[in-house]
């Protein structure tokens, strides 16, 4: 091999590893195929059985399906309330004060690698560099890799023109399918020096002490704690009603549901940014699955299956909330598609998963990762039935809701939905902004949007499961109200000092 | 609840001796009732409430018609001819009847479903005691004082009676106790779950009694003001009151969908078969002239019969509220609607001024006393003397209230509506001129006779619930009875000839079972008659 060929071969090897590493080493954990052979057969048989039942006993079949859905709804709502309760009664968020974060001598800090994948984001590169300059971490121990597709000329040009800081390396990822963020991450991690690996999105603005906090926290935790998930918040909370809904949703997720999952010992579906990994654990778990469009959720599962755990770090990263309906649907459909992928992949061997996770974590995985998109898909069906009943009182609707199922579904519909809405009101109350309370009152519209995204996700899962629906950034408006964050973070804004009437 | 946990992290607030060499520091005073003590106190309360309930029902043969009605509703929900939730009725808020359903299911095989009502109130009452025990830890009440005050509440004869009579007060007070706990816990621990506890406690109470329509917004507003001040507190108050508002909205929607009127519960007179388009005028109450002044005077008098502690407590708490914020007056504000509601109704001659409407204030006086006895006061003063003094005064106030309440309920002049004196006078060893036993025995005898007659006449029976509660409650044939919530029921007796063979009604028939013709009387006893459809006419 010549000297010219050697680097090219190395690049290709690295690309192959990034793309096919997990698929070759652990095919049962790769989303390169959505359904395994057994799952495909099982699905076909299930559909055939359902059709046969529907033909032979249509009324009974409909009744059984409605009963099953009602039970799923009831359990799901109760589970979310339980997570909320657990997040309060078993606090599980790691707090590292500014003093503690700054007390560690620089010599004792570990080497940190930050991976920032980006694709077609020329407008957001310069702000990224400014945000990176704010990070308080010794530069000689900081390695930032901006992962750009080699054929993404505008973004590469913008990055070069923006004069990246000295600790930032621009890595050109060779174009190859699947063209996904996790593929880029796998490529970017090769040769990284860091003992701790961290992921950010290109539009992120992390708490300047976040790396220090994570380093201190990981040093204090047992080795089984392989990952810390930072909290996310939005800069453009008040831009429009979509950003307000998103703000409430994220607040509930990062302050209640996620800590609740940690408190219950359930596997944690990671967010795709502000994750801080011990490098060895990341390698042990197989790094990212390039075929999974929620590679973060999937990695959280694999870490848990490998015996590792994730905690929540009280440190906020600001990012941009989606402001546009179409853009939001693209992003959410990718998330829901990824959840379906993740669920399908990890349920290939249910017995093995049960043994690795344990009974309660197994159930919680199914309820959260599988249940979220499935319920979003079921919602329109039941909304349609409710509407039909209110308007026309068709007999077939009444026939499907009899006896205990009727009462349970009535309780779930009225009481359950109200409880869910009230959780949003509680989030709004905690953040103390009038517009957020009004947004909470209209959250059922947001649920409709989720169902739209879920339908799109299901279609794409069949047609193009690994297609990465790119989210457009840079749509936030400048100015407006300051972002809302929790009190302990660098970005803390005291509640009550900002209002919009 | 983490009452013991809350105890351990509270500072001991005692004045320091400044210059002298201090001896070894005194051990921290024990604050709040421990979990173990709370458990046993709750069990003791439950045992007492159930024992008294059994004595009232099966020893004294005393009952309250409204309690019977709720019990039969619960029985019909499950064991009626066409089991349906609509049998819960649309006059009162539904939760007290619904809460009896599991107990009815448990007791029916033993033919004791009629006891589900008193048993449910006993359980709610015991749970209220448990909440109060937890509250003592939250408020850091010295342990002995806490035990004494909670025991004085739990074993107050007025409270015991309310927890043994199958009515709705016990259930509503449990939820209100939860709401009060949520309020004070939220004040101390700025966690939204306690706001939810406050909000859903109010919602649960709303599902029990209509007074909460006034109470919930008032308490929510105080909570909003406490958290965010007067100007910005309103949005918070709205969020807190939302669950209660939702409960009321769903209830009204159910009334509209099922009974055809959003406010059917205001037209109870019509529902009971009486004419008119509103509640019928109540009999005059002595001392009340149908105006606000005399109504208010009556309500204040009657309230003070059960809660005389309000006289010293209200000004003290008001004064403390001016200095410390709204928290001291929250229990008083929560108690007020029970009396104020009656002021309004009495001024419209729409209430009989029943003593039991004012008995609920006892809980709030207990909570207010616990708050006042909290050791979290920094220093003693005229309104907050030393903890021992406060505990003594508080216990005395509650004891006096128990005494005056008991004596009031033994007075036939005060208890002319539901005749509580038929319970309290025997309990106090006083002669009872109008024993309840005769009435109950009479009804049981009628029921047994009707049951025997039904055995001799198999077939479905149309029943007017308003006139046949005892038969519905005690019958061994619930599935034979067609009542107004069954879909095929029609209001006029004559139109139901093809539906049923028999009809059970008052003698002569009245109300919704209007007698038309084509029916012949086959049996009659003490104002109850069994009619058979005469197919020859």
Q: How do residues B304-320 score in pLDDT, each as one tens digit?
A: 999 999 999 999 999 98
What distance in Å separates the CA atoms of residue B245 and residue B251, rounded to the nearest whole number? 10
pTM: 0.86
Residues of B in contact with A418 (CB under 8 A): 243, 246
Q: A155 is written with which tokens?
A: 């973004």
Residues 6+ apart with CB under 8 A from A357: A267, A304, A305, A365
B-chain residues within 8 Å CB-CB of A422?
196, 199, 242-243
How many A×B Cβ pairs under 8 Å? 33
**Cβ neighbours for B86, distance < 8 A, ≥ 6 positions apart:** B258, B485
Structure tokens at A254: 């990062």
Q: Mean pLDDT lowest for which of A43-47, A382-386, B39-43, B352-356?
A: B352-356
Contact B50, B125 (CB under 8 A): no
DSSP state of A274: S
**Could you say which of B193, B235, B243 has the minimum Cβ distance to residue A437?**
B235
Question: Under a CB-based contact definition with an 8 Å cutoff, are residues B522 and B456 in contact?
Answer: no
- Section B91-115 average pLDDT: 92
| 3-class state of residue A225 by DSSP | strand
Give the mean pLDDT of chain A: 88
pLDDT value at position A478?
56
The residue written with tokens 């407008």 in the block is: A123
CA torsion sign, A326 to A328 to A329 to A330? positive
Contacting residues of B for A437, CB less than 8 Å apart: 235, 238-239
Partners of residue B246 in chain A, C-beta under 8 Å: 418
* Secondary structure (3-state) at A75: helix
B85, B239, B246: residue with CB nearest A429: B239
Pick from B228, B232, B239: which is nearest to A425 by CB?
B239
Chain B residues whose C-beta sits inside 8 Å of any chain A C-beta: 85, 191-193, 195-196, 199, 228, 232, 235-236, 238-239, 242-243, 246, 250
- The shortest C-alpha distance from A426 to chain B (Å) reads 6
Q: Distance from CA of residue A263 to its chain's centroid?
A: 18
Helix axes A295-305, A181-189, angle to 10 degrees: 60
Give the residue carrying structure tokens 């006891």. Answer: B115
Across chain B, how many H-helices and E-strands are there? 20, 5
Q: Which residue of B has its CA nearest to A402?
A: B84
Model pLDDT, residue A328: 94
Model confidence pLDDT, tens digit, residues B242-295: 999 999 999 999 988 888 888 887 765 433 333 333 444 566 677 788 888 989
Distance from CA of B201 to the nearest CA of A (A): 13
Q: Mark yes or no for CB contact A429/B192 under 8 Å.
A: yes
On chain A, the residues whose CB falls within 8 A of the CB of B192 are 88, 426-427, 429-430
Q: Which residues of chain A have pLDDT under 70?
A: 1-9, 474, 476-501
**What are the tens digits of pLDDT across the range B457-475?**
788 887 776 667 777 777 7
Task: Kindly indicate the confidence band of residue B6, based on its pLDDT and cuts at 50, 70 and 90.
Answer: very low
A2: its two tokens: 């010549």
Q: Which of B242, B251, B253 to mutate to test the interface with A (most CBs of A within 10 A)?
A: B242
B3, B6, B182, B192, best to mutate vs chain A, most A CBs in 10 Å: B192
Residues 6+ apart with CB under 8 A from B14: none
Q: What's chain B's average pLDDT? A: 83
User: Is residue B27 scored above 70 in pLDDT?
Assistant: no
What is the SS3 assignment for B86?
A: helix
Give the residue-averaged pLDDT of B337-346. 89
CA atoms within 13 A on the CB side of A332: 27
First-to-last C-alpha distance (Å) of chain A: 70
What's the gap in Å between the CA of B122 and the closest CA on chain A? 26
Looking at residue B119, its pLDDT comes to 97
Query: Per this entry, what is the length of chain A?
Result: 501
pLDDT tens per residue, range A385-399: 999 988 898 888 888
CB contact under 8 A, A496 and B242: no
- Residues of chain A whose C-beta is under 8 A from some C-beta in B? 84-85, 88, 407, 414, 418, 422, 425-430, 432, 434, 437, 496
Q: How confident is the model at residue B201 (pLDDT cuts 50, 70, 90)?
A: very high
Most B CBs within 10 A among A412, A425, A496, hence the mutation to make, goes to A425
Q: Residue A387 contacts by C-beta under 8 Å, 6 or more apart in sequence?
A: none
More confident residue, A82 or B128: B128
Residue B536 in this model has a pLDDT that exceeds 70: no
pLDDT band at B487; cut points 50, 70, 90: low
Q: Please write down the HEC assignment for all residues of A354-401.
A: HHHHCHHHHHHHHHHHHHHHHHHHHHHHHHHHHHHHHHHCCHHHHHHC
Chain B residue with CA closest to A414: the answer is B250
Evaluate the CA torsion angle A95, A295, A472, A335 in order and state its sign: negative
pLDDT recorded at residue A114 = 96
B246·A418 Cβ contact <8 A: yes
pLDDT of residue B377: 58
Inspect the interface and report whether the beta carbons of A88 and B191 lie closer than 8 Å: yes
β-strand B481-482 against B461-463: which pairing, if any? parallel
CA distance A391 to A403: 22
Comparing CA positions, the residue from A349, A445, A439, A424 lying closest to residue A39 is A349
Considering only CB atoms, B192 lies closest to which of A414, A430, A437, namely A430
User: Does the pLDDT at position B494 exceed 60?
Assistant: no
Give CA–CA dist A210/A274, Å, rounded. Answer: 9
For B8, the token pair is: 């351990």
Helix axes B361-372, B169-188, angle to 10 degrees: 20
**Do the Cβ atoms of B242 and A425 come within 8 Å?**
yes
Decide: residue B536, CB within 10 A, 0-12 exposed, 13-18 middle, 19+ buried.
Answer: exposed
pLDDT range class, residue B17, cuts 50, 70, 90: very low
**Which residues in chain A are contacts of B193 at CB distance < 8 A?**
84-85, 88
Largest Cα–Cα distance of chain A, in whole Å? 79
Contact at 8 Å (CB) between A482 and A414?
no
């Amino acid at each position: 091999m010549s000297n010219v060929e050697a680097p090219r071969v190395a690049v290709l090897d690295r690309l192959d590893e990034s793309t096919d590493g997990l698929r070759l080493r652990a095919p049962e954990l790769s989303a390169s195929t959505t359904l395994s052979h057994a799952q495909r057969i099982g699905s076909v048989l299930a559909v055939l059985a359902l059709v046969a039942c529907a033909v032979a006993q249509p009324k009974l079949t409909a009744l059984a399906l409605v009963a099953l859905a009602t039970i799923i709804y009831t359990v799901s709502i109760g589970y979310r309330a339980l997570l909320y309760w657990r997040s309060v009664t078993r606090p599980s968020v790691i707090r590292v004060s500014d003093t503690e974060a700054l007390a560690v001598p620089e010599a004792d800090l570990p080497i940190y690698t930050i991976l920032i994948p980006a694709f077609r984001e020329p407008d957001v590169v310069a702000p990224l560099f400014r945000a990176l300059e704010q990070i308080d971490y010794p530069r000689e121990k900081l390695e930032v890799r901006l992962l750009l597709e080699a054929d993404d000329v505008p973004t590469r040009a913008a990055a070069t023109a923006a004069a990246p800081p000295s600790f930032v390396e621009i890595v050109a990822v060779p174009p190859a399918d699947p063209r996904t963020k996790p593929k880029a991450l796998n490529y970017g991690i090769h040769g990284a020096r860091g003992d701790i690996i961290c992921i950010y999105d290109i539009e992120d603005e992390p708490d300047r002490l976040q790396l220090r906090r994570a380093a201190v926290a990981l040093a204090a935790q047992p080795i089984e704690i392989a990952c810390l998930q930072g909290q996310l918040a939005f800069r453009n909370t008040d831009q429009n009603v979509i950003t307000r809904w998103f703000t409430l949703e994220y607040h509930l997720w990062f302050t209640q549901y996620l800590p609740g999952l940690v408190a219950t010992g359930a596997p944690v579906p990671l967010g795709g940014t502000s994750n801080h990994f011990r490098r060895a654990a990341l390698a042990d778990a197989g790094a990212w699955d390039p075929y999974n469009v929620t590679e973060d959720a999937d990695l959280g599962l694999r870490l848990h299956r490998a015996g590792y755990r994730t905690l929540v770090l009280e440190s906020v990263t600001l990012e941009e909330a989606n402001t546009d309906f179409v853009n939001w649907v693209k992003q959410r459909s990718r998330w829901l598609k990824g959840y379906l992928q993740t669920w399908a992949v990890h349920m290939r061997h249910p017995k093995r998963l049960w043994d690795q996770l344990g009974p309660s974590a197994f159930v919680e995985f199914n309820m959260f990762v599988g249940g979220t998109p499935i319920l979003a898909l079921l919602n329109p069906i039941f909304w349609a039935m409710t509407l039909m009943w209110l308007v026309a009182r068709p007999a077939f609707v009444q026939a499907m809701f009899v006896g205990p199922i009727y009462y349970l579904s009535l309780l779930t519909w009225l009481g359950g939905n109200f409880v869910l809405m009230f959780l949003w009101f509680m989030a709004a109350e905690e953040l103390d902004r009038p517009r957020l309370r009004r947004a909470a009152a209209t959250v059922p519209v947001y649920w409709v949007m989720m169902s739209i995204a879920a339908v799109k996700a299901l279609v794409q899962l069949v047609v193009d499961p690994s297609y990465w629906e790119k989210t457009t950034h840079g749509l936030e408006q400048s100015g407006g109200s300051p972002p809302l964050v929790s009190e302990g973070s660098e970005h803390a804004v005291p509640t009550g000092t900002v209002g919009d009437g | 609840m983490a009452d013991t946990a809350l105890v351990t992290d509270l500072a001991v607030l005692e004045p320091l001796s400044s210059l002298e060499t201090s001896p070894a520091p005194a051990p921290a005073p024990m604050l709040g009732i421990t979990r173990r003590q709370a458990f046993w106190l709750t069990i003791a309360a439950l045992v007492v409430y159930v024992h008294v309930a059994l004595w009232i029902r099966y020893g004294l043969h005393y009952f309250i018609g409204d309690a019977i009605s709720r019990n039969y509703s619960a029985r019909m929900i499950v064991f009626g001819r066409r089991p349906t939730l609509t049998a819960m009725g649309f006059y009162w808020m539904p939760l007290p009847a619904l809460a009896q359903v599991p107990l009815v299911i448990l007791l029916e095989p033993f033919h004791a479903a009629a006891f589900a009502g008193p048993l449910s109130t006993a359980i709610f009452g015991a749970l209220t005691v448990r909440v109060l025990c937890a509250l003592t830890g939250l408020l850091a009440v010295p342990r002995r004082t806490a035990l004494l005050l909670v025991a004085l509440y739990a074993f107050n004869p007025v409270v015991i009676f309310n927890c043994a009579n199958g009515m709705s007060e016990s259930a509503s007070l449990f939820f209100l106790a939860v709401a009060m706990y949520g309020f004070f816990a939220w004040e101390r621990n700025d966690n939204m779950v306690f706001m939810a506890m406050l909000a859903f406690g109010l919602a649960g109470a709303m599902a029990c009694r209509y007074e909460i329509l006034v109470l919930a917004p008032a308490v929510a507003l105080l909570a909003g003001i406490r958290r965010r001040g007067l100007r910005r507190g309103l949005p918070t108050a709205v969020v807190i009151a939302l669950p209660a508002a939702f409960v009321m909205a769903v209830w009204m929607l159910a009334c509209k969908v099922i009974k055809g009127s959003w406010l059917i519960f205001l037209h109870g007179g019509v529902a009971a078969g009486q004419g008119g388009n509103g509640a019928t005028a109540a009999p005059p109450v002595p001392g009340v002239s149908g105006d606000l002044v005399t109504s208010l005077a009556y309500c204040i008098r009657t309230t003070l019969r059960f809660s005389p502690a309000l006289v010293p407590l209200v000004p003290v708490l008001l004064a403390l509220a001016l200095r410390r914020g709204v928290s001291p007056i929250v229990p008083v504000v929560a108690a007020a609607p029970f009396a104020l509601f009656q002021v309004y109704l009495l001024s419209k001659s729409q209430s009989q001024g029943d003593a039991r409407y004012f008995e609920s204030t006892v809980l709030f006086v207990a909570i207010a006393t616990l708050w006042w006895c909290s050791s979290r006061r920094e220093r003693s003063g005229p309104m907050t003397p030393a903890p021992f003094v406060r505990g003594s005064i508080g216990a005395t106030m509650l004891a006096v209230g128990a005494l005056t309440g008991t004596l009031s309920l033994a007075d036939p002049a005060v208890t002319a509506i539901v005749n509580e004196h038929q319970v309290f006078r025997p309990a106090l060893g006083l002669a009872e001129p109008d024993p309840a036993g005769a009435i109950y025995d009479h009804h049981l005898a009628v029921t047994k006779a009707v049951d025997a007659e039904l055995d001799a006449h198999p077939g479905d029976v149309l029943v007017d619930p308003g006139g046949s509660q005892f038969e519905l409650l005690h019958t061994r044939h619930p599935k034979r009875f067609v009542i107004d919530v069954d879909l095929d029921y029609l209001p006029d007796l004559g139109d139901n000839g093809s539906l049923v063979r028999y009809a059970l009604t008052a003698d002569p028939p009245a109300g919704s079972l209007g007698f038309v013709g084509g029916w012949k009387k086959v049996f009659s006893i003490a104002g109850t008659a069994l009619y058979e459809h005469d197919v020859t006419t």
